[in-house]
């Protein structure tokens, strides 16, 4: 055949051989792939589950090392290939241990060479049976022994528990070396007494000590007390809060302002060592404040004590107690306030300022005590006499039935035999006019008083408890206001009877008048004196000019006042007087010395309107130019102007800047002397210079005699 050569069959044979070989290879490869897939599926299906958790292949003799983090348990372990650092991924019931600290999680990345791990899901750190930490994620550095825990899907908060203490936050650092955990993004610490919140906080389970900073709030779980500050140290074992920055403690009735000290939140006892203030509020929201350089506060006894620093190198400011209800401020070296009975006490020669009236009253003494007492008293409707308007209204009734008809309906249900106050049993026989004339001041005969009724016919069951104020100034007391000044060793004022008792060597000055004796009782009506009594002998003197004085003494003296003027003076027993009658030209030409048993003086303003002495009067009238010095004064007379409290001594400052304990030497000497009024028999003219104006207490000057 043309074009067909001998090489052609060989070429065809080679091509066919190659095609057969390629097909065979393809068929073998396909069969091998299918066989491999079937084998793999069969092997995977038949692969048994792990019989026990995978444990690291570390000799048991090395597992006691406390510096290494060990993987104790995991359901699966995976080592990624071709990674630049060696780590293991473990899952399912994972447990790690570092010394005595155990760590649990759902999964973790474990770095054996770096001795650290990152744990995820239901993280728990456990140390012994006292410390437990719960979180969603844990980043633990075993070399530094430092853990960082955060919240997440499995746990919404990071929570540290140590017996009764629970710390809750969203991110917590915990150092195993110092055993301290802290947060910086806000958190809360709770124990069985308090709950504390702050921006930063740290807690040591070993020492039970915690520290808080920035917007710190402590709330007592039992009584709701709130402590607000910027820095606070707190011990969860003793429950004592250490205060080092400006702090406010708020309670139901008390508020404490301080900057240094400690506060026992379990007993509500505080010791404040910097200038602090306690604000007390009663049920009527009246406020009493106590301020001092240092204060001890005890809620259990409801007593607060305030002190002034004794260290002269420190700034010393007196204790200050202010009662807004009584309009009173008390200052001194030491003071205390009892909130349960509303009593106040101050020592260190304190100063009391009472400002209920336009002119402030100042009072000093060695000790000043004020308190409130509760006494059963008549309600206002029964305590005061009927007003003129009420009397006119009652006089308009013509019968008892008319009175009953005008009363509220409930009052008609009273028993028929009930007596009207101030009336005897024969009330039915009395006319309405007689009833209104006698009601309610008539005194019923004691034999006819019904049990449970007083002498005015008032039922004691109608009495109600009332609170009354009482104040006592003990030791070297003296007081001052614009119109009245006085001194006495002891001053006692009782609101229940509105009487001021001045005991032991009292002296009172008003203008140019001086009153003194062994005791002086002053009765007040609406803050103004309406009478004064000297029950144990006394003397009244009025300075005229130079060394001339009107004088009057007796066994018992009583003066009556209207406004600020004396209207009447009554003297009973051993009356003796020296006075200089004023002539028409306002001059003084003679001195009258008279004695009697009784005397009364009626005043019209500052002028004497009427003087009466009885039953018998003896005495002399001496021209002024013929008066001897020894006859110029009554027995025992002394003009004690040097002891008189003055505004310049107290000052007019709102805050008191006097030196504490400053007592004038004249006042000290005066109270150490014997009583100035002696209740001994006197001769009619037994005046001696030694009993007069000596001792350096009378004013100096010439003897003035007007011809």
Q: What is the mean pLDDT of residues 661-676?
A: 79
Instruction: Select from 422, 451, 480 the last residue of a domain.
Output: 451
Is position 331 within any domain?
no
pLDDT tens-place string over residues 107-144: 999 998 899 999 999 999 999 888 999 999 999 999 99
**702 falls in which pLDDT band (50, 70, 90)?**
very low
Q: What is the pLDDT of residues 246-286, one digit of tens each?
A: 999 998 889 999 999 999 999 989 999 999 999 998 877 88
Split into its structural domains, the chain has a count of 3
Which of 634, 514, 513 is closest to 575 using CA atoms?
Answer: 634
pLDDT of residue 484: 82
d(CA 193, CA 238): 10
Q: What is the dihedral of CA 671, 677, 681, 683, to 10 degrees?
A: 110
End position of a domain, from candidates 139, 156, 173: 156
- Residue 282 inside a domain? The answer is no
Minimum mean pLDDT range among 82-96, 143-157, 667-681: 667-681
In a domain, 547, yes or no: yes
**Can you give the residue range of the structural domain that contains 76?**
61-156
Dist CA 188 CA 113 (whole Å): 36
- Environment class of 679 (CB within 10 Å of its CB; exposed 0-12, middle 13-18, buried 19+): exposed
Q: Which helix (H) or strand (E) holds 406?
A: helix 400-406
Asked if residue 571 and residue 693 are part of one domain, the reply reads yes
Higher pLDDT among residues 439 and 469, named by residue: 469
- Same-domain status, 446 and 542: no
Q: Residue 387 — very low, low, confident or very high, per pLDDT cuts 50/70/90?
A: low
| Highest mean pLDDT (candidates 352-361, 473-482, 648-657) | 473-482
What are the E-state strand segments in 440-580?
464-480, 485-494, 499-503, 507-510, 513-517, 519-525, 528-534, 538-545, 548-554, 556-562, 565-579
Q: Do residues 577 and 702 share a domain?
A: yes
Q: Would 434 be classed as within a structural domain?
A: yes
* Domain edge (last residue) among 436, 451, 466: 451
For 480-491, the DSSP string reads E-SS-EEEEEEE
Tokens of 137: 């994620």
Report if residue 705 sits inside a domain.
yes
pLDDT at 700: 32
Residue 297 pLDDT more than 50?
yes
Q: Cis link prior to 615 (omega < 30° from 0)?
A: yes
Among 236-240, 443-447, 699-703, the range with the most confident prediction by mean pLDDT is 236-240
In the numeric block, which tokens belong to residue 607? 């002028």
- Residue 82: the pLDDT is 66
pLDDT in tens, 539-581: 999 898 888 899 999 999 998 888 767 888 999 999 999 988 8
Per-chain mean pLDDT for the chain = 79
In a domain, 652, yes or no: no
Between 704 and 380, the more confident residue is 380
Band (436; pLDDT cuts 50, 70, 90)? very low
Do residues 443 and 545 share a domain? no
Q: Is the pLDDT of residue 45 over 80?
A: no
Higher pLDDT: 118 or 402? It is 118
Average pLDDT over residues 18-38: 72
């Amino acid at each position: 055949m043309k074009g067909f050569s001998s090489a052609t069959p060989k070429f065809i044979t080679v091509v066919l051989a190659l095609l057969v070989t390629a097909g065979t290879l393809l068929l073998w490869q396909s069969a091998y792939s299918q066989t491999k897939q079937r084998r793999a599926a069969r092997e995977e299906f038949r692969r048994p589950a792990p019989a026990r958790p995978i444990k690291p292949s570390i000799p048991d003799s090395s597992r006691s090392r406390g510096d290494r983090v060990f993987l104790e348990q995991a359901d699966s372990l995976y080592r990624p290939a071709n990674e630049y650092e060696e780590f293991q991924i473990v899952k399912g019931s994972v447990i790690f241990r570092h010394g005595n600290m155990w760590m649990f999680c759902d999964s973790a990345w474990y770095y054996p060479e770096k001795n650290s791990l990152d744990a995820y899901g239901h993280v728990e750190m456990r140390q012994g049976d006292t410390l437990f930490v719960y979180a969603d994620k844990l980043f633990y550095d075993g070399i530094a022994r430092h853990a960082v825990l955060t919240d997440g899907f499995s746990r919404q908060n990071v929570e540290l528990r140590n017996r009764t203490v629970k710390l809750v936050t969203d991110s917590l650092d915990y150092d195993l070396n110092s055993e301290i955990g802290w947060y910086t993004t806000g958190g809360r610490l709770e124990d069985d007494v308090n709950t504390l919140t702050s921006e930063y906080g740290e807690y040591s389970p070993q020492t039970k000590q915690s520290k808080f900073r920035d917007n710190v709030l402590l709330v007592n779980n039992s009584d709701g007390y709130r402590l607000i500050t910027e820095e606070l140290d707190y011990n969860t074992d003793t429950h004592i809060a250490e205060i080092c920055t400006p702090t406010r403690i708020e309670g139901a009735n008390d508020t404490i302002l301080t900057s240094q000290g400690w506060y026992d939140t379990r007993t509500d006892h505080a010791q404040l060592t910097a200038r602090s203030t306690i604000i007390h509020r009663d049920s009527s929201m009246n406020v009493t404040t106590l301020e001092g350089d240092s204060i001890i506060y005890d809620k259990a006894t409801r007593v607060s004590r305030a002190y002034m620093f004794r260290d002269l190198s420190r700034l010393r400011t007196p204790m200050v107690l202010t009662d807004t209800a009584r309009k009173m401020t008390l200052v001194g070296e030491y003071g205390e306030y009892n909130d349960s009975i509303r009593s106040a006490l101050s020592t260190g020669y304190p100063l009391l300022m009472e400002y209920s009236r336009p002119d402030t009253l100042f009072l000093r003494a060695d000790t000043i005590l004020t308190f409130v007492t509760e006494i059963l008293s008549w309600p206002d409707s029964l305590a005061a006499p009927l007003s003129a308007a009420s009397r006119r209204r009652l006089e308009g009734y013509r019968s008892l039935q008319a009175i009953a008809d005008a009363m509220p309906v409930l009052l008609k249900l009273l028993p028929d035999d009930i007596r009207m106050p101030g009336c005897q049993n024969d009330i039915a026989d009395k006319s309405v006019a007689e009833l209104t004339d006698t009601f309610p001041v008539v005194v019923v005969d004691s034999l006819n008083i019904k049990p449970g009724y007083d002498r005015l016919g008032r039922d004691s069951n109608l009495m109600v408890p009332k609170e009354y104020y009482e104040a006592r100034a003990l030791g070297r007391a003296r007081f001052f206001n614009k119109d009245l000044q006085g001194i006495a060793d002891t001053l006692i004022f009782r609101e229940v009877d509105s009487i001021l008792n001045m005991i032991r060597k009292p002296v009172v000055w008003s203008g140019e008048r001086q009153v003194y004796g062994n005791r002086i009782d002053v009765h007040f009506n609406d803050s103004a004196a309406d009478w004064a009594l000297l029950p144990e002998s006394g003397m009244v003197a009025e300075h005229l000019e130079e060394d001339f004085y009107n004088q009057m003494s007796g066994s018992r003296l009583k003066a009556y006042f209207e406004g600020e003027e004396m209207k009447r003076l009554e003297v009973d027993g051993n009356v003796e007087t020296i006075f200089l009658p004023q002539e028409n030209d306002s001059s003084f030409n003679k001195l009258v010395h008279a004695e009697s048993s009784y005397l009364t003086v009626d005043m019209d303003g500052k002028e004497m309107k009427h003087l009466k002495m009885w039953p018998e009067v003896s005495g002399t009238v001496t021209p002024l130019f013929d008066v001897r010095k020894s006859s110029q004064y009554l027995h025992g007379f002394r003009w004690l102007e040097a002891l008189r409290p003055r505004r310049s001594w107290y000052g007019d400052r709102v805050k008191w800047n006097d030196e504490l304990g400053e007592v004038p030497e004249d006042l000290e000497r005066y109270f150490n002397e014997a009583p100035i009024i002696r209740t001994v028999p006197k001769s009619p003219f037994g005046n001696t210079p030694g009993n007069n104006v000596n001792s350096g207490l009378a004013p100096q000057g010439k003897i003035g005699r007007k011809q």
